[in-house]
Structure 1
Amino acid sequence: MKTLITIFLISGIVVSLRTRIKMMRYRSPHSKTQLSKAITQLVGTAGGIYISLELLLTFLGIPEEFWNPPLYYFKPLAVLSIFIAILQPYGYKIWLSITQKGG
């Protein structure tokens, strides 16, 4: 059974990649603006942080009602993730300035 699932998974990945490559060939060339690249990076970073934090809290066994109360309109964990993603470039600049002075 595991072998069958693995075969289906690998086949799905291969077919998906081939389809994506074909679709990229037929797309009209477009240039990404700096703003669109920055937004994509921000959303990607925030999404990665959100998933990581949610998995960590689930792994630690912290009840969901504690970190995701139903009282709020926004999920507090998502807001925290966006906040961390917003601060990330500044932390990176500070890290670079510290390591370049010391090295």
Structure 2
Amino acid sequence: MNLYNKTLIVTGVASGIGAELARLARFQGATVIGVDRHEPQLTLDGFFQADLGDPVSIDALVARLPARVHGLCNIAGVPGTAPVHAVATVNYLGLRHLTQSLL
């Protein structure tokens, strides 16, 4: 896989699948910009702290992201055991808002 000269936005980058995806994408040559509520413990090309359950936070994030992005990896999410409102707000509405804002 060749990701050289490609810019990826990875949500949920502070841990788990998001962190591993970011690490592998950078290894493959991508410029990786991470998004999370928490500061990641890995090297990234950029990082923005944002709450994907808050539309105002998402709008502020989008205003700071680069104009040209080649891919969005929506990895962030809360577990299904969380309150249903939190699950719907982050896992569906927030990620949808971010995606639509970048189109």
**TM > 0.5 fold call:** no
TM range (shorter): under 0.3
Larger fraction in helix: 1
Higher strand share: 2
TM-score (norm 1): 0.21
Q: Larger Rg: 1 or 2?
A: 1
TM-score under structure 2 length normalisation: 0.21
